[in-house]
Each structure stands twice: as C-alpha cells, then as structure tokens.
C-alpha cells in the first residue's frame, strides 16, 4: 500500500462498522473543530461528515500551541450509540474524555471524564457481560504502560482498580492499545517503537481480559522499519470485521521524500490493509485493497454561511462572518489540510480593512507565506527563530495569491532529488500572469525539521483588522 485512504494530516486512525457502513476517526491535535469523522461503504473512499468536538463545552479554547489539544481517539459503536474516547492533553489532569452520539455526523454529547487516567491513547471495549473497559497508555509512575479498568461510560466512574495488561515486545513507547474479543480470545493490539521510523504493530492474546497475554510468534505483524518502502513510520493500527466476515486494518504512515534522512511534509496519513486469521493470529495483507491516487481538488466560493468541515483553526473554532456569496469575512486564522505530495492553492482576498498572510505551515514557527496589506505583497519565510521577508511587490487591496508545492528536479553529482518538494510563492495578476516571488526548499516545512505530530496546513492568517476570503481553490498536482 503506497496510497493513503485519507491523505494529509490524519493520524491515529480508529474504525468501527455499523451494518454495511464504516466510520473513521482521527487525531486533530491543536486544530478545532476536533476529531474529524468520516464514513465509507467500501473502506477505500471516505466522506467527511464533520467533527466530534465542535463546542467549547467539549473542547475549551486554547492558544493553539503546536502539538497540543486532542490526541489519539478510539471510535466504537455499542448498544445503539457511537462512543468516542480521546485525550485533551491540555486537560490531562481530568482524565480521558468520552462523548457519545446516535448519529456520527453529530451532535455529540458533552464529555464525561474518567479521572485518575493520566496518559494517552484510550480505548473502549465491552465484555460478554456488557461491562465497558477503558484501556490506555498510563503515564503514572506507580503503574506505567498499558493499563485497563472497567468503567461506567455514562459517569466516568471506575468500577475497580486499574490493572496492567501487556507492555509489548520490548520496543520503545508501547502505546495505542486496542482490545478485541475474537473466537473466545482477548486480543490486545499495540503500537511500539515510537511513531518515527521504528514504528510497528504488535499483538498478544489472552483467555481473560486481565491476562496473562501471550505475544504473537510473528510480531511485529506490520512494520516498514529498515526497509526502502515508500511508506514509513507504519503503526498505530485498528482492526475491523467487515460486513462479509473478512477483516481489515487501518494504520498511520508517512511518505518521506528527498535525500537521506528524507522528509515527510503532510504529516501522518491513514492507510488500509487486509487481515487474515491464521492459526488464531492476524496476518496483514498490505495490498488487498487497491487504492488509486485520488483527485483531491476543490473550489470553495463560500456561497453559503455554513463552512465546509474541511476548515479548521488552531486553538479555537474558526471566526467568520458571511456577508453574502463570495464574502467570507475573517478575523483570525482559517486553515485546511494539504492532501497531496504536489498541489496548487489559490486564495482571492480583499484586504481593504486589514492585513492577511496566505500561508502553508507546519506550525507558527515553520511557515512560508504571502502577506498582503493593501499596497504590497511580501514573501516571508519562517524557519524556527528566523523570520525573513524575502521580497515584495506592489499590489492593491484585491489580490489573488498562489502557493504551489512542486516536484523538484534531480540535481547534484548523483542526480538525486534532495528536497521533498519546492514551495513556490506567487501573485496572480489580472492579465493571468503569475509573478513568482520565490521558490524555496520544502524540507524546512517538514516534521523532521519542525518536529511534532501534525502536517502541513494551508490557509489565511489575519494579521490585523478583518479580511474577506472570496474564493479558495486547491488543485491536486501542478
């Protein structure tokens, strides 16, 4: 599998099935609304329904600091309701939070917190007696590692003392637990090795949920570590039984490019594999589901006041005012995910009443952008502590700005490609001419440089006053 089923910054996938329909949730970190929810009937093509965490009562506003906010969720369906459990790392002292809904498109309930469960990567499952069990990666020094406890999901009350389960095969950072009941066994799926190049999926089983757990003889059951596979960092998986009785796995991976150590720019993406059960253990068939490269192009003319769920903002929900078709007034940042290796984005802006930057960013310390103030457009690069205005050109208050992620040419004595891509910043003139202000090395907008858990976002940052975003076009490829 080399093509993601959900491209761009969509890590930590969790999946469940209801009848013939599958539902998928992903981490969202500092971006709000939180936890995107998707629907599919074939596991390959997915429709974005909305988000689970859309209100301040569910996700209190923050300052949008990089790599904070909502960590890995688990999405499950039980007794007629969808249940989602996740961690707001800014409120980790309150424990994991659980929200529920009859319809995954929402609305979702206000959260119930399970106090005393400091850590990340919570999972929910129900035993044969209908008791709900919360399992997570504990950060408590008195009980570190994979921990589980029966709970009342309606109140968050623990029904017993937490107990350790299985901390993996000995690799670094055992996390991402999911429990499943299959053919009289309890299976515990883990991510190990860290979410970088050593990432792997391992599994163990026990007759009782409490253990003891026996590791699979073929562990890890999925990893691309120490290979030249174009998809790396594979791990943090979740299993689902399909409508026809077969099984599948979703997992995260990255697509690094350029010269060693290589650089991935769009974050951790969601991939799909088949699963066979052989002698009581899952065997991963990575190429079972053919996934063709999708055309992710879209144009948003803001014809109505309702924002498409693709739009998010760091720290708090987007602040917009709709004054008519093609007039979305912004007072703060509005972003969407980069979905392709190579793409073109164009924003048509009116900056008569403010100043705005059209940006591609990993976080607020790593971004390239075009700042429009009504008289000039300035190309600026931010790489860590260095913020450098490269050049500027004259432009009025109505501007069309373009950012492209381009495939770099081979160069150097060995004709290798050193960068993951080249980022081009341009002003589009009324006569159709593109005035290029510069083309820059894309590696500085990669996770390997910026660090963290997110990926590239594209959009408009309001630097002062208010601006009107009249149209946004995103095109797959050049």
Amino acid 127: pLDDT: 97
Amino acid 407: pLDDT: 95
Domain boundaries, the chain: 14-285, 298-476
Q: Work out whether the CA dihedral 138, 34, 234, 194 comes out positive or negative.
A: negative
User: Does the pLDDT at position 318 exceed 90?
Assistant: yes
State mean pLDDT over 240-255.
Answer: 97
- Apex CA 172: angle with CA 171 and CA 175, to 5°? 100
Q: Taking the mean position of all CA atoms in its chain, how far away is CA 451?
A: 15
Per residue in 214-247, pLDDT (tens digit) is 999 999 999 999 999 999 999 999 999 999 999 9
- Count the residues in the chain: 478
Amino acid 27: pLDDT: 98
Amino acid 412: pLDDT: 73
Per residue in 129-171, pLDDT (tens digit) is 999 999 999 998 888 999 999 999 999 999 999 999 999 999 9
Amino acid 414: pLDDT: 84
Per residue in 266-310, pLDDT (tens digit) is 999 999 999 999 999 999 999 999 999 999 999 999 999 999 999
State mean pLDDT over 87-101.
Answer: 96
3-state DSSP assignment of residue 444? helix
Amino acid 28: pLDDT: 98
| Dist. CA 94–CA 111, nearest whole Å | 11
Q: How confident is the model at residue 75 (pLDDT cuts 50, 70, 90)?
A: very high
DSSP alpha helix (H) spans, 304-463: 447-450
Q: Do 164 and 204 form a contact (C-beta atoms < 8 A)?
A: no
- Percent of the chain at pLDDT exceeding 70: 100
- Percent of the chain at pLDDT exceeding 90: 95
State mean pLDDT over 28-46.
Answer: 98
State mean pLDDT over 37-47.
Answer: 98
User: Does the pLDDT at position 8 exceed 80?
Assistant: yes
State mean pLDDT over 342-346.
Answer: 98
Amino acid 165: pLDDT: 97
Active site residue 175: yes
User: Does the pLDDT at position 326 exceed 90?
Assistant: no
Burial class of 394 by CB neighbour count within 10 A (0 to 12, 13 to 18, 19+): exposed
Question: In the numeric block, which tokens belong to residue 116?
Answer: 């005393």
Of the candidates 175, 238, 350, 421, the residue annotated as catalytic is 175
Amino acid 66: pLDDT: 96
Q: Checking phi first, is residue 326 left (phi over 0); if not, alpha (psi -120 to 50) or beta?
A: left
- Rounded to 5 degrees, what are φ and ψ at 89? -65, -20
The Cα diameter of the chain in Å comes to 71
| Dist. CA 84–CA 97, nearest whole Å | 8
State mean pLDDT over 456-463.
Answer: 98
State mean pLDDT over 89-113.
Answer: 97
Amino acid 228: pLDDT: 95
Amino acid 323: pLDDT: 87
- Rounded to 5 degrees, what are φ and ψ at 130? 85, 10
Question: In the numeric block, which tokens belong to residue 33?
Answer: 């609304």
User: Does the pLDDT at position 478 exceed 90?
Assistant: no
Out of 3.30.70.2390, 1.10.3720.10, 3.40.50.300, 2.115.10.20, the CATH code matching 14-285 is 2.115.10.20
Going by C-alpha positions, the residue among 189, 262, 214 that lies closest to residue 421 is: 262
In the predicted model, what is the mean pLDDT of the chain? Answer: 96
Strand duo 328-330 + 457-465: pairing:
unpaired
| Least confident span in 59-68, 187-196, 320-329, 459-468 | 320-329
Amino acid 1: pLDDT: 84
State mean pLDDT over 250-269.
Answer: 97
Note the CATH architecture for domain 298-476. Sandwich (2.60)
State mean pLDDT over 348-355.
Answer: 97
């Amino acid at each position: 599998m080399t093509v993601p089923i959900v491209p761009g910054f969509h890590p930590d996938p969790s999946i469940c099935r209801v009848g013939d329909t599958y539902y998928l949730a992903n981490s969202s970190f500092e971006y709000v609304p939180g936890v995107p929810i998707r629907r599919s009937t074939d596991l390959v093509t997915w429709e974005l329904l909305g988000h689970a965490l859309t209100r301040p009562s569910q996700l209190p506003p923050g300052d949008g600091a990089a790599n904070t906010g909502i960590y890995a969720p688990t999405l499950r369906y039980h007794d007629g309701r969808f249940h989602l459990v996740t961690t707001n790392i800014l409120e980790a002292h309150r424990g994991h939070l659980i929200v529920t809904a009859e319809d995954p498109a929402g609305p979702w309930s206000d959260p119930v917190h399970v106090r005393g469960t400091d850590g990340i990567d919570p999972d929910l499952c129900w035993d044969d007696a209908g008791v709900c069990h919360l399992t997570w990666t504990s950060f408590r020094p008195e009980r570190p590692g994979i921990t589980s406890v029966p709970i009342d999901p309606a109140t968050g009350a623990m029904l017993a003392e937490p107990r350790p389960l299985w901390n993996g095969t000995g690799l670094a950072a055992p996390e991402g637990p999911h429990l499943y009941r299959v053919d009289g066994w309890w299976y515990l799926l883990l991510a190990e090795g860290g979410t970088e190049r050593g990432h792997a999926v391992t599994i163990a089983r026990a007759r009782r949920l409490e253990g003891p757990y026996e590791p699979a003889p073929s562990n890890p059951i999925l990893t691309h570590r120490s290979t030249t596979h174009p998809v790396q960092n594979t791990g943090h998986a979740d299993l689902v039984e399909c409508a026809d009785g077969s099984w599948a796995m979703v997992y995260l991976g990255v697509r690094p490019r350029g010269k060693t150590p290589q650089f991935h720019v769009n974050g951790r993406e969601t991939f799909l594999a088949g699963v066979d059960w052989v002698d009581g253990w899952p065997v991963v068939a990575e190429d079972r589901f053919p996934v063709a490269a999708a055309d992710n192009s879209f144009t948003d003319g803001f014809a109505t006041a309702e924002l498409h769920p693709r739009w998010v903002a760091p720290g708090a929900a987007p602040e917009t005012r709709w004054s008519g078709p093609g007039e979305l007034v912004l007072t703060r940042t509005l972003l969407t995910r980069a979905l392709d290796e190579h793409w073109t984005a164009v924003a048509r802006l009116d900056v008569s009443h403010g100043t705005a930057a059209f940006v591609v960013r990993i976080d607020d310390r790593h971004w390239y952008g075009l700042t429009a103030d009504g008289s000039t457009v300035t190309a600026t690069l931010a790489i860590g502590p260095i913020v450098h205005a490269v050049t500027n050109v004259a432009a009025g208050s109505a501007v069309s700005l373009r950012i492209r992620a381009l495939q770099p040419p081979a160069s150097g004595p060995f004709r290798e490609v050193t960068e993951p891509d080249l980022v081009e910043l341009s002003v589009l003139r009324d006569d159709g001419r593109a005035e290029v202000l510069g083309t820059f090395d894309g590696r500085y907008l990669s996770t390997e440089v910026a660090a963290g858990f997110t990926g590239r976002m594209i959009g408009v940052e309001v630097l002062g006053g208010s601006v009107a975003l009249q149209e946004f076009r995103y095109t797959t490829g050049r």
